[in-house]
Structure 1
Amino acid sequence: MFNKKIEEPSSLADQAAQSATHAIQSTQRVANEALDSLTGSVQDLRHQASALAHRGADSVRETSQQLRDTALRASDNTLNYIKDEPIKSVLIAAATGAALMALISMMASSRDRR
């Protein structure tokens, strides 16, 4: 019981320092592994975001082109109708203009009444 050898203070300090060094190294290793994992995840997310952005841009370009094509067809159809039915076209345009003027006049008079 009393025969146990009492370790010297410098030996205890060395052991404590060595334990602290091992703990620090272990913590650094775990932190580095976590950073490596996060770096890979961030790169994966960056690639996914880039792919989504490209897909979105392609979709916008395609939709824009479809809208241009539709507007061009509507314009061509309108011009062809005007060429085929010039009198009807003028009457339709006059009626549309009169309807718009009546609507604007009604809106202006209702605003004046307030």
Structure 2
Amino acid sequence: MSATRVCSLSELEPDSARRVVVDGVPIAVVLDSAGEVHAIGDTCTHGDISLAEGFVEGDTIECWAHGSAFSLRSGRPLNLPAYEPVPVYAVQLDGDDVLIDPSVTKPAS
């Protein structure tokens, strides 16, 4: 599978997330305050809640329902009640286009 265009960089707002679905995989695309684009699994591992509806601060995203925060870099939960990580996907930028391949995940660090 190859990377799919999910949005343009200009469509993303700093410290916010946007939900996209690529090949049936829900993904939260996040532009952090430093201008870096991240792509993580959009479903909180504690409950069936969209992380894109949560809160972005620095390099974390917090689930609005129960407060679990996840690292945008590793997908690891930073606090309870979640204890399982979410997948992190490689992001490619091609000019203003944001591309993601949901079959390619970054190893948790």
TM-score, length-normalised on structure 2?
0.15
TM-score, length-normalised on structure 1?
0.15
Select the structure of larger CA radius of gyration.
Answer: 1
Q: Which has the higher helix share?
A: 1
Q: Which has the higher strand share?
A: 2
Which one scores higher on RCO, CA 8 angstroms, separation ≥ 6? Answer: 2
